[in-house]
Amino acid sequence: MVMRIDCKGLYYRKQNKIIRNAAEEGETEFILDNANGQRYIGSGISKKIKITVNGVPGNDLAMFMNGPTIIVNANAQDGVANTMNAGELIVHGSAGDVIGYGMRGGKLYVQGNVGYRAGIHAKEYKKQVPIIIAGGVAGDFCGEYMAGGILVLLGLNRSEGEPIAGNYLGTGMHGGVIYIRGEVDEYTLGKEVSVLPLDSKDMKVLTKHLKEYCGHFGLDLDEIMAEPFIKLQPVSSRPYGSLYAY
Amino acid sequence: MHFTDRVVPEHKLCVACQRCVTYCPEHAITVTKNELAYKENANWSPELRKNILKQAETGGILLVGMGNPRDYPILWDHLLIDACQVTNPSIDPLREPMELRTFLGRKPDRLEFVERDDGEIDLATEIEPQVRLDVPVIFGAMSYGAVSLNVHRSLVMAAARSGTLMNTGEGGLHRELYPYAGNVIVQVASGRFGVHSEYLNTSAMVEIKIGQGAKPGIGGHLPGEKVDEDISKTRMIPVGSDAISPAPHHDIYSIEDLSQLIYAIKEATDYEKPVSVKISAVHNVAAIASGIVRAGADVVTIDGFRGGTGAAPMVIRDNVGIPIELALAAVDQRLRDEGIRNNASIICAGGIRSSGDMAKAIALGADAVVIGTAALVAMGCRICQKCYTGNCAWGIATQRPELVRRLDPQVGSARLSNLLTAWSLELKEILGSLGVNSIESLRGSRERLRGVGLDSQTLELLGVKPAGVGQ
């Protein structure tokens, strides 16, 4: 059974309560029509439910989420996948600022651009590795403080000369990896990261995730893989180790 | 020391942890001040000279542990409590009941009732979630990582026994302690270590850490050496990597953003738990606290500039922030003036050393107080201030197994509970002498305090009359 909720004029607190209660009672699929800025959709839910959002969801979509799949058929706003633990988020549009903050598991696939501070302080633990892929470009402070996880920027549909990422890329990064399809200017990089070529292991990881990504958005994997990628990795897992006098 | 045919102490390495003094079976050891000091100079203290030498060698930020040790005025010691004489009777707490129970959380603006068909009266107002404390003392936020698991075990067991709460700090909650959920405040800090929906729901209350009294406005680094297998699992980061808490939460750049996080937590916990916001006591603390309450926090925790830390840059700890006494008085007054004092409880942290300090804090407007350093001292800490080295001789601020095992959680928790029992008895004595039988009657009752040796502006800020002035 699919539960359809008309979100027009529906307060987020009531809407999320309906979803939580129905999920608790065994409902597995939800379609939210006319979503218009309702916050915290999917927040804190630990069941393997599927939510399709027709319309623009509000901030903190999928915050603390732990299992569900959410498909957004529009743009998403700020704080998508904030401190998310597990599950899958597919945004058929662009997403706002601070996406995937402190994310430690699950997948976040954005078709278009992402705002400032994407993937900030994402982390990983053993096999639990968060994956963020954005098809377009990212704003400043992308991957700042990143402690783990995989962040991919594809830079598709860019206008001529538009940079793929903003300034302070990977500042304070001390774990994880960023793959970028194209080049970045040296001056935009944080001093804690270095640019490396991809090895065969990287290509395997990248191909695996991009294959899935392309499946969601009807893109051609070979076409995407035809352009060269670069890899950004932290110089040290202890960037501030020598900052202090003991 | 090194053992040859006789024991030769290495004075240079002594941090005055007093462990050897305490455990010497013959009571043969004393620790005395090192007389081989620098030439005396009232301006250039030996510490200043040592610090400069250390920085000249390393080029690094000076790191310190514990709270601000400098000689700033301690206003608690300039406040005195009233007592009853002749005109109204004092109460003997040994024979009459004294109410110390405190409920933390948002209180309604007004209560509404409905009459049932059978004539009974029911409460119609929906009450927001409340946490009950049997004693108005909470253990301060000290993260697993900064302190050992045996410290967390001791704190949580004591909190359960004494009917109060411990605070996980920002390093997550070890799985072993999940059964104690009802006595735990789980913290959400900028690093979001170990934060997931199950963690948020394994608690009596959730706290958003914005600031810490010992290091207002800056983040924290747990050095990679301290991140062992167990800590890595609890924080959910790889073994040996630095655990870096950025200075701000990167999803909070305004009061509106704070509100968004408060309600994100409420959504994830189904509105069943109060949410606290902890800030350092800084110049504009009253206005900030007002914003926090209006953002939807159920509890505001204010941490004064004497609050403790496992590691902080010395220059920040010793020079930034304001005293908790003034911050508390300013916040309580501001919330009253704005008519929103009932919307949130106030927890006072950073510098509570005794039941006397606690009683004065409650009279200045606190709903409950926090003890961190006092709790550590109860477990053995001698305030040697070397927490940041990871070599704590008392098994507290360390992860080295041979040191951690020195703190037995059974003993530690019993000592903590004893401390809370003692302070409860003392608080009851104070209430009795004031002629009141409930902590509610002391809360925010500044008329029962008098200041001694304070200038008129400080008295005004504290809302307290000078000693010698009657009613």
Residues B30 and B157 in one domain: no
Q: Which domain holds residue B214?
A: 131-466
Q: Return the higher-pLDDT residue of A177 and B223.
A: A177
Residue B73 lies in a domain: no
Inter-chain CB proximity B246 and A145 less than 8 Å: yes
Residues 6+ apart with CB under 8 A from A192: A170, A171, A172, A173, A174, A234, A235, A236, A239
Flag residues of chain A having pLDDT under 50: none
* pLDDT at site B36: 64
Q: What per-residue confidence (pLDDT) applies to B82?
A: 96
Is B83 a member of any domain? no
Architecture of domain A75-234: 3 Solenoid (2.160)
What's residue A124's pLDDT?
Answer: 93
Give the rounded percent of residues in chain B with a pLDDT score beyond 90: 86
Whether the predicted pLDDT of B369 surpasses 60: yes
pLDDT in tens, B49-67: 999 999 999 999 999 999 9
Task: Identify the band that residue B236 occupies on the pLDDT scale cut at 50, 70 and 90.
Answer: confident
CB-based contact A56:A37 (threshold 8 Å): yes
Q: Which residues of A are less than 8 Å from B316 in CB distance?
A: none
Of the candidates B178, B171, B174, B175, the residue with the CA atom closest to the CA atom of residue B146? B171
Residues B234 and B332 in one domain: yes
Residues B170-196 have pLDDT tens digits of 999 999 999 999 999 999 999 999 999
| Chain B neighbors of A16, CB-CB under 8 A | 267
Residues B143 and B11 in one domain: no
Structure tokens at B23: 């455990």
Which CATH number does the domain housing residue B180 bear?
3.20.20.70
Are residue B149 and residue B46 in the same domain, yes or no? no
Of the candidates B58, B244, B251, which has its C-beta nearest A145's C-beta?
B244
Indicate if the alpha-carbon torsion angle B12, B17, B23, B26 is positive or negative: positive
Judge whether B236 is closer than 8 Å to chain A, CB to CB: yes
In a domain, B151, yes or no: yes
Token digits for B356?
Answer: 């006397």
**Chain B partners within 8 Å of A145 (Cβ):** 244, 246, 250
- Mark which of B46, B63, B80 sits at the end of a domain: B63
Task: Give the pLDDT of residue B326.
Answer: 98
**pLDDT band for position B35 (cuts 50, 70, 90):** low
Tens of pLDDT, residues B263-291 = 999 999 999 999 999 999 999 999 999 99
Kindly state whether residues B180 and B268 are assigned to the same domain.
Answer: yes
For the residues B335-353, what does the mean pLDDT come to? 97
Residues of chain A in contact with residue B191, where contact means CB-CB under 8 angstroms, are 102, 121
The residue among B63, B83, B99 that closes a domain is B63
Q: What is the pLDDT of residues B94-121, one digit of tens each?
A: 999 999 999 999 999 999 999 999 999 9
Considering only the beta carbons, identify the residue of A39, A123, A238 that sits closest to B237.
A123
**What is the percent of chain B where pLDDT is above 70?**
98
Residues B408 and B266 in one domain: yes
* pTM for this predicted structure: 0.95
Q: Are B194 and B215 in contact (CB under 8 A)?
A: no
Is residue B74 over pLDDT 90?
yes
What pLDDT is stored for residue B182 in this prediction? 97
Residue B70 lies in a domain: no
Mark whether B9 and B154 lie in a shared domain: no
The answer as to whether B292 is a domain residue is yes
Q: How far apart are the first and last CA of chain B?
A: 61
Q: In this predicted structure, what is the pLDDT of residue B203?
A: 98
Q: Which of B35, B63, B91 is the last residue of a domain?
A: B63
Indicate the number of domains in chain B: 2
Q: Does B315 touch chain A (CB under 8 A)?
A: no
Q: In this structure, how many other beta carbons lie within 10 angstroms of the beta carbon of residue B192?
A: 27
First-last CA distance in chain A: 62
| A221–chain B nearest CA distance, Å | 32
Quote helix, strand, coil % in chain B, to nearest 5. 35, 15, 45
Q: Extract long-range pairs of B16-24: CB within 8 Å, 24+ residues apart.
A: B16/B382, B16/B384, B17/B382, B17/B384, B17/B386, B17/B392, B17/B393, B17/B394, B18/B382, B18/B384, B19/B382, B19/B393, B19/B394
- Give the start-to-end residue ranges of the domains of chain A: 1-64, 75-234
Residue B237's pLDDT is what? 86
